[in-house]
Structure 1
Amino acid sequence: MSAPDAARTLRLLHLEDSPPDHALAMAHLRRAGHHLDALRVDTEVDFRRALVERDWDVVLSDFNLPGFDGLSAQRILQDSGRDIPFILVSGAIGEDTAVAAMRHGASDYLLKNNLTRLAPAVEHAVAAGRERRARLRADRELAASRQRLSELAQHLQTSIEMERAAIAREIHDDVGGSLTALRFDLAWIGRHAPSPEVQQRVANALETVTHAIESSQRIMHNLRPAILDQGLVPALQWMAGRFEKRNGTPCLFRTSHEAMQLPVGVPLVAYRFAQEALTNVSKHAGATRVGIDLSLTRGVLSLEVSDNGRGLSENDLTKTRSFGLRGLHERADTVGGWVDVSSGADGTVLMLSVPVAAARNADGAPSYDDDEDHDPSSWGAP
């Protein structure tokens, strides 16, 4: 121990039925410079009571005690849940017994006829115990910090989706409604304007407004995918078709179920996962074939996005600014899921797995989540 540790009062519980042996052990410790707050007990009842009533730095225990032995005392200490170093000090202890005690967590063992090692053994056990408890506290604090960080990430994801939904509704109600009304007015003007020049101007304006409506719809779908109102399967089918049309890359969608009833939040997480995965494919993979596979087996939803592109290198997976993959992991964690990444020369596979509870309608058939939000695809519909 360091000098401050040596000067610190040592709280010691001594399980010993011989007062002279107790006095001798305490004398050795005082001679080594320890200030002691020691209590001697010699029965199981008193030992249990002392463990409950006080905090101790170390427990010294004789092996042969009235009614029980040192190994029993060690088990009592372990069962109490107290992390206190335990040292056996006995006049007669066999090697097998000593090994058994060490195997079950004893810090050390000594013979009463050779107590020269008592003070170093106590100092080492107490220091090791403090380090162990400090490490456990640090581990708990780290786990708590990670939990808070995960909760913050979940809160941010939820807040982002809520804000996206709010913006999408505003675009739908204000911008979309105004653009649709403007298109009807321009169409009326075009029908009633006698001048060909005015009609041409109206036609040009109608084309601009139609483009603005289409752009608003695209923004709406990116902000809040209204297609999810119809279910995850139709939404992924639509996404695969849209990806293939936009990129000219074949994108095959397969599913084990035509309809799935999923917990709240899971469809959106799965949709965003596929959206981010396809974005990465279009930007970086250089693939000529893409697959999306959705399955629900034994209570686990699996969504796999695969491509035959260039694959991801080790640097791609570990680089500090790999926020795309990190975002996938964080988003999956919000619904208790996880993401697996497999990549090689033959392409990349991203898989989302989410444990879900089976849910069905009253008639036993799978059903979709209901959502009362507006569908922006209705803008400008005839």
Structure 2
Amino acid sequence: MPPNSVSVVILNFFSILHLEDSLADHELVDHILGRSGWHFKLFHVDTLESFEMALRGGGIDLVLADYHLAGFSGLDAWEWMQTQAIDLPFVLVSGAIGEAVVADAMVRGVSDYVDKNRLSRLPMVVQRALEHHRIKCERAQTALELAASKQRLAELTEHLQSSIDRERADIAREIHDDIGGSLAAIRLDLAWLGRRATDDDTRAHLASAQDMVAHALGASQRIMRNLRPAVLDQGLIAAMEWLVQTFADRTGIRAQLRHAGDMPHLTREVEMVAYRTAQEALTNVAKHAGATEVRLELSDLEGFLTLEVSDNGQGASPEALANANAFGLLGLRERAQTVGGWLDVVNPGPGQGMTLILSVPLAHSSNEELAKGEEA
């Protein structure tokens, strides 16, 4: 294992593998490194076979290698390490090999080069190579931990979103079964009373009450559709057409939906993501854009489900876009990630409108459906 830090390198024992076919040069390297005061073990090998065997055995922290060797070169040894995914600091310690060879070695990923005529530099180069390798390993570990953290966050987001959708469906059913049923019954009773009322004042109050009940029924139905868009049972295109039409009727903003025809089979999750993205985008247009027209385009080209929502409004400032929560963009991005998709924002500038683009790979949707089928 590579040492954790330079100070650990100096204080603790570590191992170096030296690929060198000159015993005298090996002993000189051992002597130079020994003067550093480090606690280390220098293993000597002089053939590619013994080199490979030593590395397969493990326990090596750094490799020193001559360039000119019998029948092969130090770079051959380095290339073998790459094929075996052995990630260790690798320093060429050789006679003059030319700037072009040194440059090529560095491009291939070799840590450093030390001329045998300047071996006094070797301890510094070894220390630097170990330190750079430590930093690289820490960064790689950090990247892995960050990726794992993002994966856990994505899974949590998906779980929370699924929970929210289930709760919305439950609330919608309760509104339909309890509140909707009760309001419908009240409406029938009011109508019955209205047919039997004799004075105008009573009829007027009953008519007003019926209007209020009708308004409450309409509101409860609208809330149910927002909580659980049952129109999705008719397909994504039908749901989007209904959403666009009701938006235009409610806001007076011209709204148009374009689509290429029937969509491929999509999972319920993907359809919900597309529908909620369009719903939130239209809400943002109504609240913030100051637009008179909005266009939605739904397509399934090149293996992606793509939804574009464009308006001719005032656009958004960079500060407003940076504050993603202000426009609900963060929630839309997280929702898109739950189905393997992503959200892009095109904001040409003030007064030039804005476009939201949702992209979801259709392969992800197909794989999800296949997995669910196998589980069933």
Q: What TM-score results when the alignment is normalised by the length of structure 2?
A: 0.87
Post-superposition Cα deviations, 1:287-326, rounded to whole Å, max 9, x if no partner, equal 1122222222232222221111111111111126435111
Write the deviation string for residues 268-296 of structure 1: whole angstroms up to 9, x where unpaired.
11111111111111111111122222222
- In 1, Cα distance between equivalents of 2:314 and 2:98: 66
The corresponding residue for 2:371 is none
After superposition, the C-alpha distances for 1:93-141 in whole angstroms (9 at most, x for unaligned) are: 3444333322212222223343211111111111111111111111222
Query: Paired residue for 2:300?
Result: 296
Q: Do residues 18 (structure 1) and 22 (structure 2) align?
A: yes
Alpha-carbon distance in structure 2 between the residues aligned to 1:249 and 1:227: 22
Distance 1:253 1:320 in 2: 26
Note if 1:348 corresponds to 2:354.
yes
* Unaligned ranges ≥5, structure 2: 367-376
Matched residue of 2:265: which SS? coil
**For 1:139, which of 140, 143, 159 is the aligned residue?**
143
More helix by share: 2
Secondary structure in structure 2 of the residue aligned to 1:298: helix
Supply the distance in 1 between the matched residues of 2:39 and 2:131 (Cα, whole angstroms): 16
Contact 2:324-2:330 at 8 Å conserved across structures: no
Would the aligned equivalents of 2:325 and 2:331 in 1 still touch at CA under 8 Å?
A: no
Q: Report the CA distance shift for 1:114/1:253 in structure 2 as closer, same or farther (over 3 A).
A: closer
For residues 309 and 163 of structure 2, what CA distance do their matches in structure 1 show? 26
What do residues 225-253 of structure 1 show as CA deviations (whole Å, max 9, x unaligned)? 11111111121111111111111122122
Q: Which amino acid aligns with 1:212?
A: A
Q: Which residue of 2 aligns with 1:319?
A: 323
What does residue 185 of structure 2 align with?
Answer: 181
**Equivalent position of 2:173 in the other structure:** 169
**Structure having greater relative contact order (Cα 8 Å, sep ≥ 6):** 1
Separation of aligned partners in 2, 1:144 and 1:358 = 20
State the SS of the aligned residue for 2:49: helix
Number of aligned residues: 360
The secondary structure found in structure 2 opposite 1:130 is helix
1:265 alignment partner, SS class: helix
The equivalent of 2:339 in structure 1 is 335
Distance 1:129 1:182 in 2: 77
Instruction: Work out whether residues 248 and 255 of structure 2, in 8 Å CA contact, stay in contact via their aligned partners in 1.
Output: yes
Aligned to 2:59: 55
Name whichever of 146-155 and 194-203 sits farther off: 194-203
Q: Contact 1:262 / 1:358 at 8 angstroms: preserved in 2? A: no
Q: CA deviation at 1:10?
A: 2.5
- Scaled by the length of structure 1, the TM-score of the pair is 0.86
Q: How far apart are the structure 2 equivalents of 1:183 and 1:37? A: 92
Cross-structure match for 1:69: 73
The yes-or-no answer on 1:263 pairing with 2:283 is no
Matching residue's letter, 2:355: V
Superposition CA RMSD, Å: 2.6
2:231 pairs with 1:227: yes
Task: Give the residue type in structure 2 aligned to 1:353.
Answer: S
Paired-residue identity, %: 50
